Structure formats: structure tokens, C-alpha cells
Amino acid sequence: MGYPGKNHKSYQTPKRPFEKTRIEEETRLAIEYGLRNKREVWKAQSHLRKYRKAARELLALMSSSKDQAIFDAKKTELISHMQRAGLLGPDADIDNVLALKVPAHLERRLQTLVYRKGLARSPKQARQLVTHGHIAIAGRRVTIPGYLVTRAEEAGITYDGKSPFVDTAHAERTRITKPAGPGAGVN
């Protein structure tokens, strides 16, 4: 155990630091989603790794447990948690948890959703708008680009009331056009 007030690393670095295909894939994701560095990709991988571990433990519990009710309760809890987070669809199962990929997690970040909703011209600008306090969720300003937005909060993403972007005649806002779909207009 350590000092509880100290922040601890929330990711694992790659075991092979100079693997060409992994580096290219991480670079592609960092550019596509406007990430600050590859550490954010590693955080997403670690986050999904925890969900996959829980799913594997559930499958092991199912094969060794005599009580089906405990398995069903834990399975329902895990899947409903991931559905609320927006990582899984309405008719998901344990296999869907195991099949999750990093882009599914990156799509739930506030920075990405701001760009997808057309509030910014690029993922990098979306990151800047969030960091500078121009974006609010349900009237509450959020300044963390990596904030994971739940399905319930997704509809409440707008410009903050005190932001100059609220004015539709703002010079930068007139240049912003809504992207056609996921991955569209990515530089």
C-alpha cells in the first residue's frame, strides 16, 4: 500500500518498446483522436484490460461455480455498467466485453464527442476547447479532455454559458462545420 493521496500510474507501458506495427497503430490512433501522447492510448488499453479481466473471471466462475444465480448477478452488473458507460450496446454479452478494442474506449472521451457533435473543427481543437473551459456537460464545465462521458450525459454536451462560443456570430464558431460521421474529416 502506498500513500493514498499520491497519484499512481494508471497504465502499463508496452513490453516491447520498439515494435514497429504497435508504434504505427498507436500513432494512427493518437492522430485520429487528437491525443496528447501515446500514454493516453496506453491508459485506454489498461482500462479495457480491467474489463476483460473481469469478464474472464466471470467465465471461470461460471465453469467452476455451482450457483448460477451469483454468476448471472455479476454478469448483469458488469454488462449494465459498461452499457451505462456507452462501451456496449443494448443486447451485449460477455463475448462483446472480450471483443472490445481501444477505439471503442476513445470514442467515449469528451474530446472525441465534442468533435463528433460538431462543436469543434478538429480533434485537436476539441481538446483545446475542453482544456480552456469552453465545454460543459449539463451546465457543468468540464476541463478534462479524457473524461469518459456516459450515455446519459452525452446529450448534455454544449458550450459553457460563460464561453464566447455561445454567441453564434463568433468568428471561430462560424468556421466550424459538423463532420459527416465517425472518422470523417480527420486530419
What's the total number of domains in the chain?
A: 2
Both 75 and 151 in one domain: the answer is no
Within the chain, strands assigned E span 135-137, 140-141, 157-159
Both 114 and 100 in one domain: the answer is no
Give me the mean pLDDT over the 79-97 stretch.
94
Q: Would residue 10 count as lying in a domain?
A: no
Give pLDDT, residue 69.
Answer: 84
Of 130, 126, 135, 129, which Cα lies nearest the Cα of 161?
135
**Pick from 87, 105, 123: which residue ends a domain?**
105
**Pick from 44, 78, 105: which residue ends a domain?**
105
Q: Would residue 182 count as lying in a domain?
A: no
Both 42 and 101 in one domain: the answer is yes
* Domain residue limits at 93: 20-105
Q: Would residue 11 count as lying in a domain?
A: no
Both 43 and 54 in one domain: the answer is yes
Q: Residues 18-25: contacts with CB within 8 Å, 24+ apart?
A: none
Between residues 2 and 123, the one the model is more confident about: 123
Give pLDDT, residue 177.
Answer: 64
Specify the length of the chain in residues.
Answer: 187
Residue 66 has pLDDT above 90, yes or no: no
Both 90 and 133 in one domain: the answer is no
Residue-wise pLDDT for 13-63, tens only, equals 999 999 999 999 999 999 999 999 999 999 999 999 999 999 999 998 887
Both 82 and 37 in one domain: the answer is yes
Q: Would residue 180 count as lying in a domain?
A: no
Residue-wise pLDDT for 109-158, tens only, equals 999 999 999 999 999 999 999 999 999 999 999 999 999 999 999 999 99
Residue-wise pLDDT for 148-184, tens only, equals 999 999 999 999 999 999 998 888 888 886 655 665 5
**Pick from 53, 71, 105: which residue ends a domain?**
105
